[in-house]
Amino acid sequence: MTDSKNPETIVLHSGWRSDPTTGSVAVPIHQTTSYQFNNTDHAASLFALSELGNIYTRIMNPTNDVLEQRIAALEGGVAALSVSSGQTATAMSLQNIAHAGDNIISSTDLYGGTWNLFANTLPDMGIEVRFVDPSDPQAFENAIDDKTRAIYAETLPNPKLEVFPIAEVAAIGRAHGIPLIMDNTAAPILCRPLDHGAAIVVYSSTKYIGGHGTSIGGLIVDGGNFDWAAAGDRQPYLNQPDPSYHGAVWTVAAAPLGPIAYILKARTTLLRDLGGAMSPFNAFQFLQGMETLPLRMRAHCENASKVADFLSSHDAVERVIYPSLMDDNLKSRADAVMNGGYGALMGFELKAGSEAGKKFIDALQMLYHVANIGDARSLAIHPASTTHSQLSPEDQFSSGVTPGYVRLSVGIEHIDDILADLDQALQKI
């Protein structure tokens, strides 16, 4: 979905003008399960994929279609798939190209839910996950063998908030016919991983894209920039006959429709077989969220940078973890891929340690204490006593969580009110 307009325009216009029968400007919620075929030939050609069109809402829906076109345009990709959650997006993005007996390589810096999926559930399904510390991009090359099908990482992983070396690792993967799949949940608008060599982008749209903390959803964007056919046996499930679709070879079947082999396979096999579809109502909610996403990201980043300044000069604070405040190497990694700000996730360490972290959270009056990120509201959590409490102190430390670490997801309230709440809570520790 090539759209040369700017992000602020794409989120309002791409993929939709008005409803051809009613003139409705807002995208209607197509709350239907199924679609009347024109005649038997039409039905047969939809099922044969010689024509794209609506069959059944588990696999496609006109409301979701606009969302999919819009996110593909925003990311500079060719097509997208909306699914029931960010977790579904991650799982399907990998199951699409890795089966039992294969392996994928993942950065160690991951959202906890993804870590569990990779450390337990994918191995239960026979897919090995090899974890690699992203501080040395070359380590990804060393982990590759002939069964490696994908590399996976997050653009701006919390709690460390060290931006992933997208271009370096994407180039290593491409040299072996292996795509880099980037979870860009924490940095929409700010970073377009496809521009730096990633092949696939996944999102938890639950976070910034929805933006209002109302709906769970996920998105997978196909960059259309990866030569699956040239990868040959490295990518067997796109290049060999697929018994689950009359022996279709996806790179061949998709060719008349564009470079969409990867996402076409995900839709027509995984969504068909596993379900995990996004409801049209949630697709509508995400379309509403997307309309203000560029504006909100700007406001999130402006506020976050002021919060970082405030905390950096506060006596109770040992250290602030935010990409702009990192050493030259890490800051230049962030500068290489992020435009318009360093995001709105931030960590800080209280000099007084764990008890002070808990007291700080309990003293907050406006910031919400929740296990979430990317809401328009400001959010805070003390990982050592919550999200990371099951980890040993050593594992907490290696994941970037110290006893006094507090994570903030800075919202778009007035900055004076955010700072006032942080200030009064810091006085109570």
| Residues near ligand PLP, by CB under 6 A | 85-87, 111, 113-114, 154, 183, 185-186, 204, 206, 216, 218, 373
Across 59-102, the runs of DSSP E, i.e. the strands, are 79-83
C-alpha 389/C-alpha 201 separation (Å) is 30
Query: H-helix or E-strand containing 130?
Result: strand 128-132
Q: Which CB, 152 or 245, lies closer to ligand PLP?
A: 152
CB of 219 to ligand PLP, least distance (A): 10
C-alpha 311/C-alpha 421 separation (Å) is 12
* Burial profile 374-412: b = 16 or more Cβ within 10 angstroms, e = fewer: bbbbbbbbbbbeebbeebeeeebeebbbbbbbbbbbbbb
CB of 409 to ligand PLP, least distance (A): 10
C-alpha 128/C-alpha 111 separation (Å) is 18
Q: Which CB, 254 or 283, lies closer to ligand PLP?
A: 283
Q: Which CB, 239 or 279, lies closer to ligand PLP?
A: 279
Query: How many Cα atoms occupy the beta-carbon half-sphere of 122 within 13 Å?
Result: 30
CB neighbours (10 Å) of residue 364?
A: 18
Q: Which CB, 156 or 261, lies closer to ligand PLP?
A: 156
Contact 221, 262 (CB under 8 A): no
Collapsing DSSP to helix, strand or coil, 103 comes out as: strand
CB of 191 to ligand PLP, least distance (A): 13
Query: H-helix or E-strand containing 14?
Result: none
Collapsing DSSP to helix, strand or coil, 222 comes out as: strand
Q: Which two tokens stand for residue 68?
A: 């999919």
Contact 382, 358 (CB under 8 A): yes
CB of 359 to ligand PLP, least distance (A): 25
Q: Which CB, 338 or 356, lies closer to ligand PLP?
A: 338
Q: Which two tokens stand for residue 429?
A: 């520790």
CB of 111 to ligand PLP, least distance (A): 4
- Residue 255 identity (one-letter amino acid): A
CB neighbours (10 Å) of residue 30?
A: 18
C-alpha 345/C-alpha 157 separation (Å) is 9
CB of 176 to ligand PLP, least distance (A): 25
Q: Which CB, 159 or 280, lies closer to ligand PLP?
A: 159
Please, which residues have CB within 8 angstroms of residue 255's CB and are 6 or more apart in sequence?
261
Query: How many Cα atoms occupy the beta-carbon half-sphere of 406 within 13 Å?
Result: 34
CB of 372 to ligand PLP, least distance (A): 7
Query: How many Cα atoms occupy the beta-carbon half-sphere of 105 within 13 Å?
Result: 25
Residue nearest ligand PLP by beta-carbon distance: 86
Q: Which CB, 278 or 429, lies closer to ligand PLP?
A: 278
Contact 164, 136 (CB under 8 A): no
Q: Which CB, 259 or 323, lies closer to ligand PLP?
A: 323
CB of 204 to ligand PLP, least distance (A): 3
CB of 206 to ligand PLP, least distance (A): 4
Q: Which CB, 158 or 269, lies closer to ligand PLP?
A: 158
CB of 313 to ligand PLP, least distance (A): 29
Q: Which CB, 111 or 226, lies closer to ligand PLP?
A: 111
